[in-house]
Structure 1
Amino acid sequence: MSFSDIQFKPKPNGLKLSEPNKFKAEDLHSEEMVINLGPQHPSTHGVLRLEVLMDGEIIKEVVPHIGYLHRCFEKHAENLPYNQVIPFVDRLDYVAAMNCEHIYAMGVERMLGIADQIPKRVEYIRVLMAELNRIVSHFIAIGTYGMDIGAFTPFFWIMRDREHILRMLEWASGSRLLYNYMWIGGLFYDLPVGFEERCSEFVNYIKPKLQELEDILINNKIFVNRTANVGILPLDLAINCGVTGPILRGSGLRLDLRKVDGYSVYPELDFNIPIGEGKMGALGDCWDRTWVRMQEIYESVKIIEQCLDKLTKEHKRTRDFDPHALVPKKIRPKAQDFYIRGEGSKGELGFYFRADGKSDVPFRCKCRSCSFVNLSVLQEMAKGILIADLIAIIGTIDVVMGEVDR
């Protein structure tokens, strides 16, 4: 049933205020109402408008309306050389731009056949930056989610600790949000002198803060009551809808492309893949998805520690190290169709290229954005729930509209 088929039926008997005795309980279900949630509503996480068909406070249907940002990423990419696309890649998932850059650069390098030649120091720096940005992304997801359902203090704590990471990323790249740091074949610049020491200080600082956050928010009785058994996503539905990332892992499937595909230097690093276990409610509920993101932050900290150890012992900075050494002067892959995927902060981020072999501009570029695919499951999850729970579900999907309206 579409919204154009909805007919609003007047209540029977033409009830008036002067005739209260004619009111009947069954009349409460004689009307349906369509309301708009967003795009101005802060809990829709950006310019997302939801058209909601309500029966009282029960949701019968939800239709997401997208297309308010108009990033036009794919058409930009088809009119620029491969290396000039990276600033537009940053603007997809703009709270985890390093992850997007990493996957895009790795894809073009594989098309050029130079992926195996990338220096180990470059690879460890890329992973270090990607995991720092993954923490930033999960911080925003957890902090804004707590605020969505009424917990303000954890949001302020998270923004305080997020600032430490943003300052380090700015120190390395010159920018706080959109970096253009990972270049095809290398990096914009080596790590600044003293970066590894500063990052180690941050790791020691953040560990007790994470435990404090978990105690005050994730395991808080009010938070548990608000999120457990709410927004349950069965594993088969998640798989059928193509959901990936923490949402899929929250439903119990241990699928992470860093392990499955083993790209970059991830096979050399030791980390676990947390999954939902139904500890506080049903498997795959809102609490499980939030808990998985919290545990992934711990795992990212472990990865960062190992990268710092490699960068300070095995792959130290040297005077003759040049992060531009493999950056091609002209990027012209041979004619081919190629797809690269990687584990972004929100799931599988993929890029499809079609190269004609004659130009340094991609003939076709298509982005498989995780936020767009993950948002598609909302229509199935929202049927038959209370409208207050819709806000709780949207927060655990963790959409960034730059990816959705690409």
Structure 2
Amino acid sequence: MSDTFDRLWAGLAPLGRDRTTGGYQRYSWTPVDAEIRTWFTAEAHARNMTVETDRNGNLWAWLGEPGPDAVVTGSHLDSVPNGGAFDGPLGVVSALAAVDELNRRGLRPTRPLAVVVFVEEEGARFGVPRLGSRLLTGAITAERARGLTDEGGVTWARAMADAGLDPDHLGADPERLARIGVFVELHIEQGRSLARLGAPVGVAGTVWPHGRWRMDFSGQADHAGTTRIADRNDPMLPFAETVTAVRRAAVEHGAVATVGRVWLTPNNSNSIPSRVRAWLDARAPGEAALRSLVDSVDLAARLAAAEHGVTLASFQESFFPKVAFPEELCDRLAAVVGGDSPAPVMSTGAGHDAAILASAVPATMLFVRNPTGISHAPEERADPADCYAGVTALTEALADLTAAKV
């Protein structure tokens, strides 16, 4: 099994990797994305799996004939800018390795089995995360998805069409969704809970509510060398105060909150900016705490903007409520993959396709230990032994859920 995983990993690892930073630039509907999709299709065909592209661009590889009440696993292959190697790909590679392991053991599933690769999970190019699964479930409309644009103004519809797919067919896919009997996504843990517990694999029980909010601070562009401090309407000042308010609010509410994306206009070293556009990412154990956090940040931002003669426009770009995966399913998998004692059942603040599918089908996740907890960065890693343990755990889960027989 380790040889199979290592070969798959070595084949995927170079695609989209920045030789300077070691990070990955894997964005939807780009030439690198096409290479990755070709890689997955070839690996699936090598396992005699039938590959389909659904109306939203998600890839499905079926072991045997597609059918109802299917057990589905998989993840995503796109990345954040300069992202790590494991976030998403670990779930896809492990799924293919688990198919090999079932075959090696001579186990034949009695339920249909599929491996899926969801598009635009990170939202790195078009701004909306989990787009492939959201389109599948109808959590976002086709009209909105078609109109999403990247930084160059290219729409999702245009990019999808350039990749050879028809954006006119975008949208909810109830027939395909009805095929799924259960979905299990394996993912590297984005945190250190398993490291602290000394466990290589865990099961997701809940996903924190989370969302993204945009804040536009508008002031007056002017000359940095000739404009008196008293005469300035500099949007950078209330923005800076807002960033510190975000940190205070996160600590106060037992949450996490980040301003990690900022656009400046005109973005010149000798100009006072006219606009600062920033995005707040906030996550909390409960929705009341999350809403309170966002409200306190918004109030601090408005007070700071008024003090500096700047206007503020803010709005919610996305929101995902708390997800509780089915307790019976989580306990079942914890017992199956845990060996002598059940695997730990955990909460996570990271969003995943499994959380989107959970609104429509039974779903949960397996997490593989991350020794440093670092994710969304080139330093993200998992030890080989833990990766192999993840493949073994996923194999056991799939064998159990599909009632595989010799």
TM > 0.5: no
Which of the two has higher C-alpha Rg? 1
More strand by share: 2
More helix by share: 1
TM-score, normalisation: structure 1: 0.23
TM-score, normalisation: structure 2: 0.23
